[in-house]
Amino acid sequence: MTAGIAVDIGLAALVAAMALWTILVRDAYAAVIGFIGYGLLLALVWVRLDAVDVALTEAAIGGGVTGVLLLRAVGALHRGAAPLEDGPPPGPATRRIAALACAAVAAGLAFVVLGVSGPAPTLAPLAAEHLPATGLKNPVTGVLLAFRALDTLLEKVVLLLALIGIWSLSPDGAWGGRPTLGRPGRASDTLRFLAQLLPPVGIVVGIHVLWVGANAPGGAFQGGAVLAAMWILAMMAGLSPVPAIGRPWLRAALVIGPLAFLAVGVAGIFIADGFLAYPPAFAKPLILAIEAAITLSIAVTLAMMVAGPPQRPGAP
């Protein structure tokens, strides 16, 4: 137990130190590396808290996809993309006010969290009690796909909106065209080697993470993120072309997840207890089908987000 506490204290100190480094370091590239490290450390914290589902998501999204997005942004700045002029940089007074506000929020949180006596109330027993009705064994998937399915469905729409937001930044003439990812034809041998080696394994891992999500930690978001990473790798190495954003198959892959989810939800009105309800006999297969569809949509959405807005006209 004491060893566990020592690990926890060390981990907490590292997370705090990494957060501080990310804020204080002057170089944008170093800050992004710090941010990625922070995401990975945070994933370890979630493991220590027995929240493996959250840990997987944090590592995949907080460390992985967000990290790549930020690295690409820094890269664009280094290549001479004009930074936006937004007046003078914040002066010392603004910085102090921001620091004070953050410190006040942190102190308030510390006061409240440390002042809690006894275990916090939780819905976990209630979720476990109703889990058999869904046919699942992982309560997190039960919450995401059954008890709070509306949240998950709307989050999928949010993800698509984020992509539309990124695409909306394209030049008018490039709408419907191709994003630029990496430098076509100039990928290093190492990258090409990795892009040939990893995807066969990664695709299996991604599908496995999705499949076990019904019964063990894992699920659509984590599986989708792994699949997205493999596709991004292949596109960056030039082994797989970056599709034009107007391609019908791409659009279909983006929307199949939310539409399948919605279709099952509407069917629930007629064959079960209502919108987004599952008939008990078919709950698990329906949930797995929805998860498979949203995994595909998540993978394609995340990869296209990293690819960024279209820069050159492509075949319609």
- The residues that touch another protein, with contacts defined as CB under 8 A, are 82, 84-86, 105, 108-109, 111-113, 115-116, 120-123, 126-127, 130, 146-151, 154-155, 157-158, 160-162, 164-165, 167-172, 175-176, 246, 251-252, 254-255, 258-259, 262, 265, 268-270, 272-278, 316
Least distance between another protein and beta carbon 229 (Å): 23
CA distances from 14 to 6, 8, 21, 25 (A): 12, 10, 10, 16
CA distances from 106 to 39, 74, 120 (A): 19, 29, 20
Residue closer to another protein (CB basis): 146 or 229: 146
Least distance between another protein and beta carbon 115 (Å): 6
Residue closer to another protein (CB basis): 76 or 105: 105
**What contacts 271, CB < 8 A, 6 or more positions away?**
279
Least distance between another protein and beta carbon 263 (Å): 10
Which residue, among 179, 185, 181, 214, has the nearest Cα to 284 in the 3D structure? 214
DSSP state of 84: P
Q: In this structure, what are the phi and psi dihedrals at residue 88, rounded to the nearest 5 degrees?
A: -65, 150
The string of DSSP codes covering 10-68 is HHHHHHHHHHHHHHH-S-HHHHHHHHHHHHHHHHHHHHHTT-HHHHHHIIIIIIIIHHH
Least distance between another protein and beta carbon 35 (Å): 15
Residue closer to another protein (CB basis): 12 or 161: 161
Q: Which 3 state secondary structure label does DSSP give 179?
A: strand
Say if residues 202 and 229 touch (Cβ distance below 8 Å): yes
Residue closer to another protein (CB basis): 11 or 313: 313
Residue closer to another protein (CB basis): 32 or 276: 276
Least distance between another protein and beta carbon 176 (Å): 7
Least distance between another protein and beta carbon 162 (Å): 6
Residue closer to another protein (CB basis): 3 or 116: 116
